[in-house]
């Protein structure tokens, strides 16, 4: 064997060893990437779950805050003004109890629970918690004396004039929070749970641990590692379970609390899930194959020395070129696998942890869906993929239109390049319907037309809006009763005059049939007027159940009648000016709710005039003008008052929920917000506000209904 061939064999042996070493190093790097990916996925899952719990707590706090704002602090007691909002809040927030502990020591309970003798709410944990924080917050779990269940209490101090008037609390049975946490799917045997910063178990699949065990006790390997709760708000670590199994433990602090959302999952299951959802497994196989090939090449070099000696000149250049190509291929393959793994992991994670249901369809037939779609429809992935969008929808939408016609029109508009946003009614697996907000987009992939639908369940929001709308009407009850009193005062005076005249006529022997007939006719007229007033107000408070044609002038007349007495009492001239001609003006919507919108705007205009009159000391009559105009397919209603106007810096905020310039005792801040929701969301119109030289102007724009559709 000459020196040149010997050098060639040595070089090839060294190259084979280098390749084998490179494969081993790359394999180790791949394992490191796997571990980092697993940790990142578990940490992201803990963050998503913590965000879900935070969202639930924030929604409960908003309901409590709205309830506290609707209860008049100067009329607290076991009366309808206090008990009504408490009972409504129990339904809206699914609370087990809503109650008020007064600073005097009296308890007002929305569930009608009567405390035992000697019970003092001021010494209860929930009352002390509200006093200590001075704002809305929630307590650690404790046993409720009404339900005898483990609950957490959301509490808010009630202040009047800067002084504590009492504390409002709302109890949520811990089972509600358990459902929000334990429904989280974490591989096959992994699970989520809640602990306090000290390690006390708050929520756990094993109920015997709740409030009775510490994390350090049930998982001894974590006993020396829980200082991380004090140092960091989130993180991930590895530990050994009591059976010696390697687990991954991820945690995330719930904002505004000392609670941590924790997720534990066996490392083997996390690794298996990562391998199934990424390209790392393919990379491992490739590296193993390359390692085997390199090892075979290294072992075979000794046996092939003779062959290389005989054919070294012919194949030396080919072998060297092949080695260079293998190295280049290895580098390219590693780069491509890493990039593809990162992209697939990113989009697969986004797809499955999205808060909205995502459906991909070919035509109307579903071809893919995420976990959220299975949750909101109550169906498995296989069942959803067997159905179309029409199979998941009722035959008719809430506005009475056929679902098949509506979806055909929406898809046609989307094909023209426009992304479609619309509200839709779907059906769950149990047959119940729920409203949803849908974002639909058609795109082309590999010369195939696909439809992407993002679906958000808004049933809770719709229910809350309905409850807020009804609460706004109930808030107006007192004021409307005053209006009824004004409407009835003159008829009652007239009836009193008729009765007095009967006595005087009898005394003077002037009773006759014409005289009695005249009095009876007049009295009947006054009684019919009073009955008609009651019917008008009863129709105002009756909620609309179905959208349909609404006569604009008929609604205006109803609103004017409702406000007529209050306007006369305030020496305000209310006029309606028709600039639309003699044609009927009909729009699509809810008649009762539209009357409520007009009454709310007119009441605000009246208040603005009275406020302006009080500030200026002017008692002269002032005006509110309602101007109705028609432009092509649009009806425009302008309500213009001569009040004090709206400060320019407040104009952008007046339609925000809970925003009011009247103070908590005079307004809830929901009137204009609900009016805008009714006009724009329910009737497809527009509600605007601006200032004029004499006061404020509110403009309502609505689309006309076609004459043939009205018939």
* Domain regions of the chain by residue span: 357-457, 467-710
Return the exposure string of 519-529: e unless at least 16 CB atoms fall within 10 Å of the residue's CB, then b.
Answer: beeeeeebeee
pTM attached to this predicted model: 0.37
CATH code of the region 357-457? 3.30.450.20
CA distance 77 to 53: 34
Q: Backbone dihedral region of 213: left (phi > 0), alpha (psi from -120 to 50 degrees) or beta?
A: beta
Q: What 8-state DSSP symbol labels residue 703?
A: E
CA distance 596 to 469: 9
> Looking at residue 664, what is its pLDDT?
45
CATH code of the region 467-710? 3.30.565.10
> Looking at residue 561, what is its pLDDT?
80
> Looking at residue 711, what is its pLDDT?
46
CB 247 within 8 A of CB 238: yes
CA distance 201 to 209: 6
Of 170, 260, 682, 222, the closest CA to residue 462 belongs to 682
452 three-class SS: strand
Q: How many alpha carbons lie under 13 Å from residue 547 in its C-beta half-sphere? A: 15
Low-confidence ranges of the chain (pLDDT < 50): 664-665, 710-711
> Looking at residue 481, what is its pLDDT?
59
CA distance 298 to 16: 6
CB 167 within 8 A of CB 140: no
> Looking at residue 167, what is its pLDDT?
93
């Amino acid at each position: 064997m000459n020196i040149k061939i010997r050098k060639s064999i040595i070089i090839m042996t060294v190259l084979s060893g280098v390749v084998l070493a490179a494969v081993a190093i790359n394999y180790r790097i791949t394992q490191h990437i796997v571990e980092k990916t697993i940790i990142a996925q578990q940490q992201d899952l803990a963050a998503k779950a913590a965000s879900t719990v935070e969202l639930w707590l924030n929604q409960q706090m908003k309901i409590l805050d709205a309830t506290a704002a609707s209860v008049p602090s100067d009329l607290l007691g076991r009366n309808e003004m206090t008990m009504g909002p408490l009972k409504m809040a129990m339904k809206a927030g699914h609370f087990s109890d809503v109650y008020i502990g007064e600073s005097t020591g009296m308890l007002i309970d929305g569930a009608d629970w009567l405390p035992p003798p000697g019970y003092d709410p001021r010494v209860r944990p929930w009352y002390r918690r509200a006093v200590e924080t001075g704002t809305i917050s929630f307590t650690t779990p404790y046993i409720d004396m009404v339900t005898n269940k483990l609950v957490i209490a959301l509490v808010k101090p009630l202040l009047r004039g800067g002084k504590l008037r009492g504390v409002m609390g709302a109890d949520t049975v811990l089972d509600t929070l358990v459902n929000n946490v334990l429904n989280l799917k974490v591989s096959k045997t992994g699970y989520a749970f809640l602990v306090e910063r000290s390690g006390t178990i708050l929520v756990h699949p094993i109920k015997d641990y709740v409030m009775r065990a510490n994390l350090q006790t049930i998982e001894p390997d974590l006993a020396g590692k829980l200082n991380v709760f004090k140092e960091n708000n989130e993180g991930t670590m590895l530990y050994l379970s009591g059976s010696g199994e390697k687990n991954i433990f991820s945690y995330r602090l719930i904002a505004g609390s000392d609670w941590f959302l924790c997720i534990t999952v066996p490392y083997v299951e996390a690794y298996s899930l990562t391998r199934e959802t990424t390209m790392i497994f393919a990379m491992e196989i490739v590296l193993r194959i390359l390692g085997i090939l390199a090892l075979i090449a290294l072992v075979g070099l000794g046996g092939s020395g003779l062959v290389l000696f005989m054919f070294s000149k012919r194949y030396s250049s080919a072998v060297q070129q092949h080695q260079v190509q293998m190295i280049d291929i290895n580098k390219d393959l590693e780069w491509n696998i890493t990039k593809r793994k990162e992209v697939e992991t990113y989009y697969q994670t986004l797809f499955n942890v999205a808060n909205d249901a995502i459906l991909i369809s070919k035509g109307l037939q579903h071809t893919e869906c995420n976990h959220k779609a299975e949750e909101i429809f109550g169906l498995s992935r296989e069942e959803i993929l067997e159905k179309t969008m029409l199979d998941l929808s009722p035959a008719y939408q809430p506005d009475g239109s056929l679902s098949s016609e509506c979806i055909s029109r929406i898809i046609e508009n989307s094909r023209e390049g426009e992304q479609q946003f619309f509200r839709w009614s779907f059906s769950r697996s149990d047959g119940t319907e729920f409203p949803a907000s849908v974002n639909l987009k058609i795109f082309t992939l590999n010369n195939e037309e696909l439809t992407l639908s993002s679906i958000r369940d808004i049933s809770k929001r719709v229910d809350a809006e309905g409850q807020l709308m009804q609460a706004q009407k109930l808030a107006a009850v007192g004021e409307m009763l005053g209006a009824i009193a004004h409407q009835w005062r003159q008829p009652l005076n007239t009836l009193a005059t008729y009765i007095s005249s009967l006595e005087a006529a009898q005394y003077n022997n002037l009773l006759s049939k014409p005289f009695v007939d005249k009095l009876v006719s007049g009295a009947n007229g006054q009684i019919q007027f009073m009955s008609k007033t009651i019917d008008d107000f009863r129709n105002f408070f009756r909620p609309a159940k179905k959208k349909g044609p609404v006569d604009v002038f008929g609604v205006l007349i109803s609103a004017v009648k409702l406000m007529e007495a209050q306007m006369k009492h305030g020496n305000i001239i209310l006029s309606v000016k028709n600039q639309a001609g003699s044609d009927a003006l009909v729009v699509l919507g809810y008649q009762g709710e539209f009357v409520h919108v007009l009454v709310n705007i007119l009441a605000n205009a009246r208040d603005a005039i009275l406020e302006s009159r009080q500030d200026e000391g002017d008692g002269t009559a002032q005006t509110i003008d309602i101007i109705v105009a028609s432009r092509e397919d649009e009806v425009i209603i302008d309500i213009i008052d001569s009040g004090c106007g709206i400060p320019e810096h407040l104009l952008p905020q007046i339609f925000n929920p809970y925003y009011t310039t009247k103070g908590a005792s005079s307004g809830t801040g929901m009137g204009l917000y609900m009016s805008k929701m009714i006009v724009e969301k329910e009737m497809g119109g527009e509600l605007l506000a601006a200032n004029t030289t004499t006061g404020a102007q509110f403009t309502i724009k609505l689309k006309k209904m076609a004459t043939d559709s009205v018939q």
